[in-house]
Amino acid sequence: MPFSGRFSALAERLDGKPSGVWAVHDRACALQAAGEEVYLLSVGDPDLPTLPSTIDHAVESLREGRTHYAPGSGERNLREVIAAIEERSAGRPCSPDDIIVFPGATNAIYGVMSCLLDAGDEVIVAEPMYVGYRGIFAALGAKVVPVALEVSNGFFLNLERLSAAITDRTRVVFINTPGNPAGNMIPADQLRALADLCLRRDIWLASDEVYSMITFEDRHVSLRTAAERLENVIVIDGLSKSHAMTGWRLGWVVTHQELIEHLLHFSSATIFGCSQFVQDAAAFALQNDEEYMAEVRSEYKERRDFVCDRIASTPLLDCATPDAGMFVMVDVSGLNTDGMRFAENLLEEQRVSVLPGEGFGRSTRDYVRLSLAQPLSCLEESMNRIERFVIARGVDAAGAS
């Protein structure tokens, strides 16, 4: 008899159809594997190296035998370092007991949402939103209520629009500042107003701040800094992007202790602690990163300025200059096309891979996202190719009309 065991509903929900937007990236990787020269601007894995002294510290820690189980909420030393940074930036007390460490922000967000959302509950998410959130909400059976940012107004979060989306089933409002894909930063007064609105309506407000250290003109203001009261406030951060440590898997949550207790139960049941030597290295990185972070910011700023200047000088393309992060959203509607077709054709004709904007929500269907996580020389050649592609298309369009 054939085995007829079934999979859980959770497994089925997690097995959602892979988003079509990744097809372009997957094809680009396949072309690359087949030996073709392809420019990959479709992913956000920093090309910059992890700080060498952080690597040395991890190796030392391994040699010292830091290879055992760690406390469920994270190593005390790392939580003290994070709490001190929080205290300094937010100007209000933060205890190591307000912090729990996870293997990356993704797992941290999954843990937070697991502790707050039941199937059928509504979570309001500003859109365009990071692609990775969908799987988390799908797994939990939560209903995502997208609230479109004002795309043509610098991806501005309209609080009236958000407030109108709140219903009796809204349990969480989830924001991402600085945002992926748009690099928009939610100003302090808006964060404060939003926290207050959510508090009055008994709604949790969670903020994913993994790009907090990659800002250009203005420094990041955390939700914890801006909010007047912290009862309903949750901040998630991590080292993947800022410290080019995507593969180390290190993130954390800052919130009040009752939720931390629940997160500890979640963590105990699912991950049972993070690697000791990774946490040692993370604590070291956070205490020795002033020069490094200045260089990282300046590198991404140079790349951003270069790409935005080239977009501005390319006919039929447009972009809003991002305030932070590692991406530029490019409006391709001037070419009478949408982001998906633009990305597919660009890859076929010029071997440059970009991510179609519809992966982040309907409001950015006419956009593509360009990643700045590539060296300037690669961005330069990519932009040459994009320009050639656009000029050829533009001429075609003019010829056809």
In terms of CB distance, is 72 or 251 closer to ligand PLP?
Answer: 251
Q: Residue 252: helix, strand or coil by DSSP?
A: strand
- Residue range at the interface with ligand PLP (CB under 6 A); choices 102-110, 281-289, 296-304, 391-399: 102-110
Considering only the stretches 33-41, 104-112, 217-225, 332-340, report the one whose residues sit in contact with ligand PLP under the rule CB under 6 A: 104-112
Considering beta carbons, is residue 81 or 105 the nearer one to ligand PLP? 105
Q: Determine the interface stretch with ligand PLP among 9-17, 68-76, 101-109, 279-287 (rule: CB under 6 A).
A: 101-109
Q: Closest separation between CB of residue 310 and ligand PLP, Å? A: 23
Looking only at the bridges linking them, the beta strands covering 367-371 and 355-356 are antiparallel
| Cα 137 to chain centroid, rounded | 15
Q: Which is nearer to ligand PLP, 183 or 350 (CB)?
A: 183
The residue from 61, 106, 170, 276 that contacts ligand PLP (CB under 6 A) is 106
Q: How far is the CB of 51 from ligand PLP (least distance, A)?
A: 17
CA triplet 126, 117, 177: central angle to 5 degrees?
30
Residue 104 touches ligand PLP, criterion: CB under 6 A: yes
Structure tokens at 23: 């097809």
Q: Look up residue 115 and give its two tokens.
A: 């502790």
Q: Please name every residue paired with 318 in a beta bridge, in sequence order, or none if there are none.
A: 331
Q: Quick one: 199 or 283, whose CB is closer to ligand PLP?
A: 283
Q: Residue 390 gets which letter from DSSP?
A: H
Helices (H) and strands (E) in the chain, counts: 14, 13
By beta-carbon proximity to ligand PLP, the closer residue of 251 and 356 is 251
Is residue 222 at the binding interface for ligand PLP, with CB under 6 A as the rule? no
363 near ligand PLP, rule: CB under 6 A = no
Candidates 120, 132, 315, 375; binder of ligand PLP (CB under 6 A) is: 132
Q: Are 308 and 321 in contact (CB under 8 A)?
A: yes
Which residues contact residue 399 at a Cβ distance below 8 angstroms, ignoring those fewer than 6 apart? none
Is there a contact between 174 and 125 (Cβ–Cβ < 8 Å)? yes
| Beta carbons of 123 and 172 less than 8 angstroms apart | yes
> By C-alpha distance, which of 198, 383, 401, 195 is closest to 303?
383
Q: Tell me the window of 222-230, 238-246, 272-280, 339-347 that interacts with ligand PLP (CB under 6 A).
A: 238-246
Distance of CA 28 to the CA centre of its chain: 22
* 137 near ligand PLP, rule: CB under 6 A: no
Q: How far is the CB of 104 from ligand PLP (least distance, A)?
A: 3
- When asked if residue 184 is in the footprint of ligand PLP (CB under 6 A), the reply is no
Please, are residues 351 and 32 in contact by the beta-carbon 8 Å criterion? no
Residue 74 as a binder of ligand PLP (CB under 6 A): the answer is no
Q: Is it true that the peptide bond before 128 is cis, omega within 30 degrees of 0?
A: yes
Q: Under the criterion CB under 6 A, does residue 128 sit at the interface with ligand PLP? A: no
Q: Does 180 bind ligand PLP (CB under 6 A)?
A: yes
Q: Please pick, from the candidates 86, 98, 208, 331, the single residue that binds ligand PLP as defined by CB under 6 A.
A: 208
- Helix/strand/coil for 23: helix
| Minimum distance from residue 155 beta carbon to ligand PLP (Å) | 14
Q: Does residue 217 contact residue 187 with C-beta atoms inside 8 Å? A: no
Nearer Cβ to ligand PLP, position 106 or 314? 106
Q: How many residues does the chain have?
A: 401
Q: Which amino acid would we find at residue 261?
A: E
State yes or no: residue 130 binds ligand PLP (CB under 6 A): yes
* Residue 251 contacts ligand PLP per CB under 6 A: yes
> What span, in angstroms and rounded, lies between the C-alpha atoms of 332 and 370?
12
- Judged by CB under 6 A, the number of residues near ligand PLP is 14
Q: Which CB atom, from 130 or from 277, has the smaller least distance to ligand PLP?
A: 130
Shortest CA distance to 352 belongs to which of 80, 91, 14, 40? 40
Candidate ranges 31-39, 103-111, 262-270, 373-381; the one touching ligand PLP (CB under 6 A)? 103-111
Q: How far apart are CA 188 and CA 190, in angstroms?
A: 5
Task: Decide: is 331 part of the binding site for ligand PLP (CB under 6 A).
Answer: no
Toward ligand PLP, which CB reaches closer, 199 or 326?
A: 326
Binding residues (CB under 6 A) for ligand PLP: these are 44, 104-106, 130, 132, 176, 180, 208, 210, 238, 240, 246, 251
